[in-house]
Structure 1
Amino acid sequence: MVRGGWAGHEPVACTDLFIGFLRAQGATVEVAETLSAYEDEGLLDRADLIVQCWTGGTLTEEQEHNLIHRVRTGAGFAGWHGGIVATAYEARDYQFMIGGRFLCHPGEFVDYDVNVTAAHPIMKDINDFSVRTEQYYCHVDPTLEVLATTTFTGAHDAPETAGAVMPVVWLRHFGRGRVFVNTLGHSPADLQLPQTRTITERGLLWAAG
């Protein structure tokens, strides 16, 4: 679990929500609070799952290479919100692996609907639900397996977004690895919404294989 970066996303409090859950599934959890963890090939080799919560970070070429190599060779990579899609903007290979890049969230905190779009075990018994948080507008890869979306209305001084159907939860196979992304999760309160928490917990397990 690699956490840090912009403090506004409360990386410690947010990741702490899932440490007990992962341990209850039989996982050994190691926490790193520096991106230099990606320079430790032994640490990466031990990981079946890498959970990242680091908004606004910059990866060195070595860090990017090691992380991508480990995911390609079988580790899962998972995260939520800015901790996974609003970081390492200059790292093209990282962006390609994630399959999405945060651009903006018109209106800051707004009410919007999340629509379930796929019959997948991660979404079992979860119906469409409403949230009040940042509605992430991203550039996304067309090959993603999208599990949930939101539709932008063009409000909040962003008329060009009207009608855009944007992925909220997606999966991506990357080499022998699996990538899980949930754009919800600005704060611990957001992650504790029952639907968001369940989706995230299941997504972590899916990414771990």
Structure 2
Amino acid sequence: MANALVVRGGWDGHRPVEATDLFLPFLARNGFDVRVSDSTAVYGDPAVMTETDLIVQCVTMSSIGRDEVAGLREAVAAGTGFTGWHGGIADSFRSSSDYLQLVGAQFATHPGKEPACRVQDETDNFLTHTIEITPLGREHPITAGLTDFTLTTEQYWVLHDDLIDVLATTTHPVRTWHPWHRPITSPAVWTRQWGAGRIAVSTPGHSLDVLANPSVRTVIERGMLWASRTASAS
């Protein structure tokens, strides 16, 4: 049996407990013995990390100790898979450059609606946008068979490097109330090889209803299976 470690916490707005609970039955059905931790301190425990085949992280913002991020990096480099969605992985531990390098892309913003249409709640940042599967994504096990799909939720703008393999993108158009002058395309789903380990990230996943979207859920669940050490060893 493979071992999965679910690490959750950070900003409550992303509902880390409820969001990760959605995927626990999937992990169990696919042969994972699941351990849940509400603290990143577990990353600093070599005994736990050595036996972990997959880490599913949902920790938005927050902070992480040096020994913890070092333990995480070492585990992934040794073959532990690492995956997650939205701010739980792409907006974690903003002050840790070592973590940002591991993941390969970092949340910068989610553009908002026209100012006159804002009502001063989270929906001010909910824009209808398309997640477009790339040519690589059409062939990759995580996104093969999926077609472009549309969401109305936060549209992540991320800063990234070119060590990531982009499976899907989303484009921020030019709008009169924003200061940029040409459309900006951001990765929306990507993978990364780090040593012997695999990383899979989906930026959609702000809320429980987005996680229930069939395409989003498929990407996340396939990402778990693909990233796991048991998959990369097969």
- With normalisation by structure 2, the TM-score equals 0.87
CA distance in 1 between counterparts of 2:59 and 2:50 reads 20
SS in 2 for 1:30: strand
Which residue number in structure 2 is paired with residue 3 of structure 1?
Answer: 8
Measured on the aligned residues, the alpha-carbon RMSD in Å equals 1.1
User: Greater Rg, structure 1 or structure 2?
Assistant: 2
Q: Which residue of 1 aligns with 2:48?
A: 43
What are the superposed Cα offsets for residues 160-205 of structure 1, whole Å, 9 maximum, x if unpaired? 1731111000000000000000000001110110000001100011
In 2, distance between residues paired with 1:161 and 1:194? 34
Corresponding residue SS for 2:26? helix
Deviation at 1:42, TM superposition (A): 1.2
Q: Which amino acid aligns with 1:175?
A: G
Q: How does 1:88-107 map to 2 (within 5 A)?
A: 88-107=93-112
Alignment of 1:6-85 (within 5 A): 6-85=11-90
Q: Tell me how far apart the structure 2 counterparts of residues 100 and 207 of structure 1 sit (CA, whole Å).
A: 17
* Alignment match of 1:109 (pick from 94, 101, 126): 126
In the TM superposition, what is the alpha-carbon distance from 1:159 to its structure 2 partner?
Answer: 3.4
CA separation in 1, counterparts of 2:157 and 2:103? 15
Q: CA deviation at 1:143?
A: 2.1
What is the deviation of 1:38? 1.2
Q: TM-score, normalised to structure 1's length? A: 0.97
Tell me, what secondary structure is at the counterpart of 1:93? helix
- Of all paired residues, the percent bearing the same amino acid is 41
Unaligned runs of 5+ in 2: 1-5, 113-124
Cα 1:61/1:110, change in 2 over 3 Å? same
In 1, the alpha carbon distance for the partners of 2:181 and 2:32 equals 41
Which structure 1 residue ranges, 4+ long, deviate > 3 Å from structure 2? none
Contact 1:152 1:164 in 2 (8 A): yes
Q: Which residue is equivalent to 2:140?
A: 120
- Cα offset for 1:158? 2.4
Does 1:131 pair with 2:131? no
CA distance in 2, matches of 1:164, 1:2: 32
The residue number in structure 2 matching 1:196 is 216
SS at match of 2:75: helix
Return 154-163 or 22-31, whichever deviates more. Answer: 154-163
- Read off the aligned partner of 1:111 and give its amino acid letter: T
Counterparts of 1:126 and 1:28 in 2: how far apart (Å)? Answer: 29
Q: SS state of the match for residue 77, structure 1?
A: strand
Secondary structure of the 1:64 match is helix
Supply the AA of the counterpart residue of 2:141: P
Mark the CA change 1:156 to 1:144 in structure 2 (over 3 Å): closer, same or farther: farther
Aligned partners of 2:201 and 2:19: how far apart in 1? 15
Aligned residue pairs: how many?
Answer: 209
Letter in 2 for 1:87: S
Return 60-69 or 150-159, whichever deviates more.
150-159
Deviations 1:35-92 (A, max 9, x none): 1111222111111001100001211110011110000001000000000011111211
CA positional deviation for 1:154: 2.3
Distance 1:61 1:143 in 2: 23
Change (3 A) 1:161 1:84: farther
